[in-house]
Amino acid sequence: MERIICDILVVGGGGGGLRAALAVKEKNPQLKVVLATKGALGKSGVTALACSDRMAFHATLAHTEPQEPHSWKYHAQDIYEIGGKVSDGILAEILAQNGEKAFNYLDEIGVPFVRKEGLVDQFITDGSDYPRACYTGPKTAVHIEEALVREILKNNIQIVEYCMLVKILLERNQVKGTIAVDTRQDNLDKGLMVFETKAIILATGGGGKAFKYNVFPEGGTGDAYALAYSVGAQLVNMEFIQIGIASTKTKLNCSGSAMRAIPRFVNDKGEEFLYSYFPEGTSLKEMYNYVFQKGASWPVSYEHKTHIIDIAVYKEINKGNKVFLDYSTNPTGFSFADLDPIWQERYNTEISNNLGKEARKASPLNRLKEINSPSIRWLKGHSLDVEVGEMVQIATCAQHFQGGVKIDEKGETNIKGLYAVGECAGGQHGANRPGGNALLDCQVFGQITGEDAANKCPVIQQAAISGNEIEEFKTEVKKMIGTVGIEALKARSELQEVMNQFASIVRTEKGLLEAAKRIKVLRDKQIKLDSHGIDFALETQNLIIISEIIVKSALMRDESRGPHLRFSEYTDNVPIRRKDPDWQKYIVIKKVNNEPELFVHNPLGFSFK
Ligand SMILES: Cc1cc2nc3c(=O)[nH]c(=O)nc-3n(C[C@H](O)[C@H](O)[C@H](O)COP(=O)(O)OP(=O)(O)OC[C@H]3O[C@@H](n4cnc5c(N)ncnc54)[C@H](O)[C@@H]3O)c2cc1C
């Protein structure tokens, strides 16, 4: 068994983890930092692998509108208000105020942000009043990852790849180390690793794999939520998960031009089903104007009336149908002239390849060619040729967890020496997360947590991990995972079905209670080790823990807000209303007597008026 001793252990090699590890070294080069990652460095996690239409990194720069000395305050207010007023204002403030510094850091280490006439180009996302989204193109996150990895390799940071953190060890509410497994070993005894450390920075990303349909890469199993919760850390806002329409084959989000081209929404029976979900009396013209607007309101949100489109796609799939976007033919009754003048104008600003009025009217494919021909090439490169009439199969897919391990202004949790950063952290984002703020979050809080851990750890006395603790862990694992019970893959698939059916776009009290019951059955079963290995089985355990937490939080929040849509009955297409001010509060979850206990709290405000 390998035993590694260090000052600070960073867990995860995405945007958050890499930035945190660098910040420790920048603060105190003498400290021994180890970065452990479940996959290969630079090749696992969302930052390294995600791609969409145009990935955004939000920052308020000197030239960002409205170009006031404190323009960042508008940014902070957007995070909080668009977020649904259920995040800590003070954390939103830290994010917004440090955006320019974080941007400059990335710019200096070589992230190729697009500039126009010498200025960093920025666009508007998700209801923000001012354009703050900096970008390199569809691969902004990948470029950030690559630049950070280059920096990491220049520093004296030990990298341990294929290493999955599976247990956190404490002494008197202070971190003292962790147990991890080598994901290449199928045997717990052979693959065990122990880290003795004074601080752990969790940066393991989100847990989209809890859902059958998701755009997460392998390994996105929310391990930090489960591990931190298991040792008494608080979680927050776990019911808020970005879910939106995406291609099931390529995982590309169908936002922006994919909607603005106005494709046909069709099921495998050839039916154009969308209209049947709209309220009686809606005209086709109104419906297609909603489809256009869906381009700028990805993912689902109570605050955007376009949520009816997500509901329609979700319910159609729940009926057992396959659902597609068809670009070959205009949808029934669609006429380009029916788009409101404001949307036609918007469309015109996006034309990069003018095919002329007649072609524009003729088909969604022509429109896609006009406003985003690279996406057609991208899809073709991923074996989906819309030019020859292939349809894009879609589903409502989980993309981002807004909540996570509850952090304070330094990124620390309620456990000393335990930090969380990036998507696994919570409290900085609300119910909705305006696009671009997740990548920003990783950088801002990456730096803050790294520096804080570096400041505090020299005075901490390192405690040793005993042989007994390791044996206890093995016994614990053997109780949960063994040679009998439900096979890990089967357990995971069942869980994902349950989460998709009851805790995705349409949430009802009845459905959530049913989900809680079925998850409990899974929780009480032993998981049988299958050919996917011990790491897969342990991940599945983590998914069961976090799913229970998501469902219980969703059950408690008996209103709609952000992506959390509650309905009185499954057959309703109109969500229960948002309950302001009663529910301008967040739900904090803590493990008490082996069960999740939920508390409702008022968020912290801004330090400014
Ligand atoms: C398709 C898509 C498009 C997106 N677009 C945008 C956008 O435009 N703008 C924006 O701001 N955000 C966007 N997001 C969200 C954003 O990209 C992520 O929130 C962010 O990259 C997460 O970074 P992270 O460092 O927290 O986690 P990740 O990048 O996911 O890294 C997690 C790391 O932890 C490791 N790990 C996991 N579990 C363990 C374990 N138990 N032990 C050890 N290591 C572990 C993984 O191997 C990985 O290295 C998008 C997300 C997706 C999926």
Summarised one tens digit per residue, pLDDT across range 81-115 is: 999 999 999 999 999 999 999 999 999 999 999 99
pLDDT at 186: 80
Quote the DSSP letter at residue 387: G
CA distances from 241 to 236, 238, 431, 596 (A): 12, 7, 8, 19
Distance CA 203, CA 145 (A): 14
Contact status, residue 470 vs residue 427, Cβ threshold 8 Å: no
Contact status, residue 292 vs residue 283, Cβ threshold 8 Å: no
pLDDT at 435: 87
For residue 121, give the 3-state DSSP assignment. coil
Which of ligand 1's atoms lies nearest the C-alpha of 206?
A: 30
Which of ligand 1's atoms lies nearest the C-alpha of 439?
A: 11
pLDDT at residue 127 is higher than 80: no
pLDDT at residue 411 is higher than 90: yes
Least confident of 7-11, 50-54, 366-370, 392-396: 50-54
Contact status, residue 125 vs residue 436, Cβ threshold 8 Å: yes
pLDDT level of residue 342 (50, 70, 90 thresholds): very high
Distance CA 215, CA 209 (A): 9
pLDDT level of residue 455 (50, 70, 90 thresholds): very high
pLDDT at 54: 83
pLDDT at 201: 98
Phi, psi angles (nearest 5°) of residue 244? -150, 175
Contact status, residue 174 vs residue 453, Cβ threshold 8 Å: no
CA of 339 to the centre of ligand 1 (A): 37
pLDDT at residue 53 is higher than 90: no
| Tokens 């005209």 sit on residue | 283
Mode of pairing for the β-strands spanning 264-267 and 174-182: unpaired
CA of 426 to the centre of ligand 1 (A): 14
Distance CA 564, CA 554 (A): 7
Mean pLDDT across the chain? 96
Residue type, 601: H
pLDDT at residue 202 is higher than 90: yes
CA of 449 to the centre of ligand 1 (A): 17
CA of 568 to the centre of ligand 1 (A): 34
CA of 559 to the centre of ligand 1 (A): 29
Pocket test for ligand 1, best of 194, 253, 439 (most atoms within 8 A of CB): 439
Q: 137-188: per-residue pLDDT in tens?
A: 889 999 999 999 999 999 999 999 999 999 999 999 999 999 999 999 888 8
Contact status, residue 444 vs residue 102, Cβ threshold 8 Å: yes
pLDDT at 296: 87
Tell the residue nearest (CA) to atom 9 of ligand 1: 436
pLDDT at 527: 95
Pocket of ligand 1 (CB under 6 A): 11-17, 36-39, 44-47, 50, 52, 55-56, 141, 163-165, 203-205, 215-216, 219, 223, 253, 399-400, 422-424, 435-439, 442
| Tokens 């335990």 sit on residue | 418
pLDDT at 609: 75
| Tokens 């044996």 sit on residue | 471
Contact status, residue 25 vs residue 32, Cβ threshold 8 Å: no
Distance CA 596, CA 575 (A): 27
CA distances from 349 to 340, 353, 486, 498 (A): 15, 11, 55, 43
pLDDT at residue 189 is higher than 90: no
Residue 531: CA count within 13 A, CB half-sphere: 0
pLDDT above 90 covers a percentage of the chain that reads: 91
Distance CA 560, CA 303 (A): 9
Nearest of 421, 347, 431, 290 to residue 11 by alpha carbon: 421
Does 470-592 carry CATH code 1.20.58.100?
A: yes
Nearest of 473, 495, 504, 589 to residue 539 by alpha carbon: 495
- Tell me: cis bond preceding 112? Omega within 30 of 0 counts: no
pLDDT at residue 124 is higher than 90: no
Average pLDDT over residues 191-205: 97
| Tokens 């990456």 sit on residue | 446
Distance CA 52, CA 59 (A): 19
Cite the residue boundaries of each domain of the chain with CATH code 1.20.58.100.
Answer: 470-592
Angle at 42 between CA 37 and CA 44, to 5 degrees: 60
Quote the DSSP letter at residue 601: E
CA of 206 to the centre of ligand 1 (A): 6
Q: What is the dihedral of CA 76, 78, 82, 88, to 10 degrees?
A: 10
Q: Three-state secondary structure along 211-272?
A: CCCECCCCCCCCHHHHHHHHCCCCEECCCCEEEEEEECCCCCECCCHHHHCCCEEEECCCCE
Distance CA 27, CA 242 (A): 34
* H-only helix segments in 382-464: 437-456
CA of 264 to the centre of ligand 1 (A): 32
Tell the residue nearest (CA) to atom 47 of ligand 1: 38
- Tell me: cis bond preceding 279? Omega within 30 of 0 counts: no
Q: 352-395: per-residue pLDDT in tens?
A: 999 999 999 999 999 999 999 989 999 999 999 999 999 999 99
pLDDT at residue 126 is higher than 90: no
Q: 220-262: per-residue pLDDT in tens?
A: 999 999 999 999 999 999 999 999 999 999 999 998 899 999 9
